[in-house]
Amino acid sequence: MQIIDNPNRASWSDILKRPTQTVNDIEGIVSEVFKDVLANGDKAIQQYTERFDKVVLENNLVTTQEIETAVATIPQKLRDAISKAKENIEAFHAAQKTNKVSLETTNGVQCWQEKRPIESVGLYIPGGTAPLFSTVLMLAAPAQIAGCNEIVLCSPPNKEGKLAPEILYAAQLCGVTKIFKVGGIQAIAGLTFGTQTIPQVYKIFGPGNQFVTVAKQLATKYGVAIDMPAGPSELLVVADKSANASYIASDLLSQAEHGVDSQVILVATSKELINKVSEEVEAQLQVLPRKAIAEKAIANSKSILVDDDATALDLINQYGPEHFIICSENEEYYVDGIRNAGSVFIGDYTPESAGDYASGTNHTLPTNGFSKAYSGVNLDSFTKSMTFQKISREGILNIGETIELMAEAEGLQAHKNAVSIRLKDLK
């Protein structure tokens, strides 16, 4: 990790750049795939699966038999662990349900708001070097709680043309209605337009690489909503001299092993701690099975020394990390002051891995600074807020003149007439 001592504020933007390509670098190929899938449906998807995933599939829909065969291979202890994680995720997301909000704003004018589920949702589950079955729980469990009718899952197949058994088990456990062996840009395009086999959905969820992130953003141009831009993983840890260097190193590496384009950052008020963490990172890195991946991510990562907590907090809010870990005696200062972060982890015994798997919070979070404007996935992500109103005779008499005056001032005579015609009948 590059160590940077007390950088001046003018240089922060450059220091905090993510190691990702720009949309302009990727949009060309994404647009090409989208146009092909729109025109040729499953045929195009089959060709891109062969090109990108190196496998030829006769049928990309996962059958009931495939699910049953895969599930039978999963050890009972892992099944129990997945079930326990699901319980915690369900408990936290079920607690996010809100009651109907109802109010009589003026005598005779009743307004209320209710949540209704999004009918059809698409879940993208990354595969590749690490099939993320935990993401199935994070997306399908709240979708099921929200009451979504159709829950469609897409994930890239392995070289044998299969999905990880754990993905299939978690999907079955959480009520996924259809599962497709399709990944990357072509999966997002399939969910956007619909094909002969893949249903068109109203909203697409899930993290992915840079190509998937841009594909999701392109999907919005065709009227499909997305959860958020959620690309390569990132983590920022803030720490002082009281922090445990080995714990911090393990957290940094836990995100670095996601992919070569992941980024981890340590912001500290102690040079001694930074040196200890650097030593720990190097030592722990040597025994990781995914050492080659983590090593490349660490090369894109930084340790930043600052003078005080106030400077640290300003820098962190400018960065807007996906995951933010606080290892400081002054933890309340950071908890109260953080404005831009996807999910926050507090104290020595709260590793980011807990949120990735089993504590209950959602791990599908905004990356690349989008935490400044976007929330992570939650129960409301799978619902829409609908407003209702009912106005009585008394109510239209009470607010009618207000509406007439405002409509006339805007030059919208038909709006005014819609009220005037009623008032005339009542007077």
Helices (H) and strands (E) in the chain, counts: 17, 14
Query: CA triplet 194, 231, 291: central angle to 5 degrees?
Result: 125
Rounded percentage of the chain residues whose pLDDT exceeds 70: 99
Task: Establish whether 186 is an annotated binding residue.
Answer: yes
Q: Where does 208-270 have alpha helices with state H? A: 210-219, 245-256
Q: Give the mean pLDDT of 74-87.
A: 97
pLDDT score of 129 more than 80: no
CB 242 within 8 A of CB 283: no
Mean pLDDT on 12-30: 84
CATH number for the region 2-16+232-360 comes to: 3.40.50.1980
Known binding residue 410? Answer is yes
Using alpha carbons, select from 314, 329, 345 the residue that is nearest to residue 252: 345
Q: Are 4 and 15 in contact (CB under 8 A)?
A: yes
Give the C-alpha separation, 217 to 265, whole Å: 26
Query: Is residue 93 part of an annotated ligand binding site?
Result: no
Q: Does 408 count as an annotated binding residue? A: no
| Residue 85 pLDDT exceeds 90 | yes
Helix axes 133-146 and 165-173, enclosed angle (nearest 10): 10
Among all chains, which residue has been given the structure tokens 């038909």? 414
Q: What is the pLDDT of residue 245?
A: 98
Q: Tell me: pLDDT of 24 over 90.
A: no
Q: Where are the beta strands (DSSP E) in 55-202?
A: 101-106, 109-117, 120-124, 150-154, 178-180
Average the pLDDT over 13-26 and give the result.
80
pLDDT band at 23 (very low <50, low <70, confident <90, very high): low
Residue 65 assigned ligand-binding role? no
Instruction: List the chain domain ranges.
Output: 2-16+232-360, 23-99+118-227, 392-426
CA gap 205, 374 in Å, rounded: 13
Angle of helix 184-193 relative to helix 23-40, nearest 10 degrees? 50
Query: Is 113 marked as a binding-site residue?
Result: no
pLDDT at residue 7 tops 90:
yes
Class of domain 23-99+118-227: alpha beta
What span, in angstroms and rounded, lies between the C-alpha atoms of 195 and 39? 10
Amino acid 232: pLDDT: 83
Kindly tell me the burial class for residue 150, based on how many C-beta atoms sit within 10 Å of its own C-beta (0-12, 13-18, 19 or more). middle
More confidently predicted of 376 and 25: 376
**Exposed e or buried b for every residue in 251-263, given b needs 16+ CB within 10 A?**
bbbbbbbbbbbbb
Give yes or no for residue 229 having a pLDDT over 70.
yes
Tell me if 178 sits within 8 A of 61, measured CB to CB: yes
C-alpha 22/C-alpha 182 separation (Å) is 24
> Token pair for residue 165?
């058994």
Does 2-16+232-360 match 23-99+118-227 in CATH topology? Answer: yes
Q: What is the pLDDT of residue 21?
A: 59
Model confidence at 231, in pLDDT bands (50, 70, 90)?
confident
370-418 pLDDT, tens digit each: 999 999 999 999 999 999 999 999 999 999 999 999 999 999 999 999 9
Tokens of 300: 């894109």
- Write down the pLDDT at residue 130: 75
Give the pLDDT confidence of 167-216 residue by residue, as tens digits: 999 999 999 999 999 999 999 999 999 999 999 999 999 998 889 999 99
Would you say 59 is a known binding-site residue?
no
Cα angle for residues 153, 322, 145 (degrees, 5° grid): 40
How does pLDDT run across 355-374, given as a tens digit for each residue?
A: 999 999 999 999 999 999 99
Tally of CA atoms within 13 A in the half-sphere of 162 that contains its CB: 11
Give the pLDDT score at 26.
Answer: 86
CATH class given for the domain over 392-426: mainly alpha
Average of per-residue pLDDT values in the chain:
95
What's the CA gap between 316 and 23, in Å, rounded?
Answer: 24
Residue 427's pLDDT is 78
Amino acid at 52: F
Q: What percentage of residues in the chain have a pLDDT greater than 90?
A: 92
- What per-residue confidence (pLDDT) applies to 166? 96
- The answer on whether 356 is annotated among ligand-binding residues is yes
Contact 167, 140 (CB under 8 A): no
What is the sign of the dihedral through the CA atoms of 241, 247, 253 and 254? negative
347 pLDDT more than 80: yes
pLDDT-based confidence at residue 50 (cuts at 50, 70, 90): very high
Q: Which residues are catalytic?
A: 322-323
Structure tokens at 187: 């999966």
HSE (side-chain half, CA atoms, 13 Å) at 347? 4
Q: Look at residue 152 and tell me whether its pLDDT is greater than 80.
A: yes
Which of 15-29, 196-210, 237-251 has the least mean pLDDT? 15-29
